[in-house]
């Protein structure tokens, strides 16, 4: 039972064929390595998105926002997704997306069309 995207017939490849799929709890996550910025309280710092799904992302970063902190994850040129920090480890943070699922899906579809997975 993984999350799936409805891609139109004109797409070069399906979501499943572009993604390196990783089963994680209730959904499918796509492995990636995208440079991004975490925006929090007027500051921004660099990070790298290591995997992503419709509901969240695992992000590698040196400066970690506090658990529960509202953030925006900017992945140029694909877009920005709002979320909250769900967990932290020594090098990673988990982000639970709070944006509407359709908005998150649009960003992920753009990433897939650029072969970012």
Q: What is the pLDDT along the chain (117 residues), one digit of tens a residue?
A: 344 444 444 444 444 444 444 444 567 888 999 999 999 999 999 999 999 999 999 999 999 899 999 999 999 999 999 999 999 998 999 999 999 999 999 999 999 888 765
CATH topology (fold) of 31-111: Thrombin, subunit H (2.40.10)
Domain boundaries of the chain, sorted by first residue: 31-111
Supply the pLDDT for residue 69: 96
Q: Which residue has the tokens 């140029």?
A: 76
Say whether pTM exceeds 0.95.
no
Supply the pLDDT for residue 50: 96
User: In the Cβ-directed half-sphere of 39, how many Cα atoms lie within 13 Å?
Assistant: 10
């Amino acid at each position: 039972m993984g999350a799936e995207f409805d891609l139109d017939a004109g797409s070069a490849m399906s979501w499943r064929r572009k993604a390196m799929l990783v089963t994680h709890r209730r959904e499918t996550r796509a492995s990636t390595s995208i440079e991004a910025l975490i925006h929090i309280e007027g500051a921004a710092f660099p990070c790298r998105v290591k995997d992503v799904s419709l509901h969240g992302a695992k992000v590698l970063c040196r400066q970690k926002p506090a658990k529960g902190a509202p953030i925006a994850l900017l992945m140029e040129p694909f877009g920005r997704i709002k979320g909250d920090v769900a967990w932290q480890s020594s090098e990673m943070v988990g982000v639970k997306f709070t944006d509407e699922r359709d908005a998150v899906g649009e960003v992920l579809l753009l990433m897939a069309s650029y072969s970012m997975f």
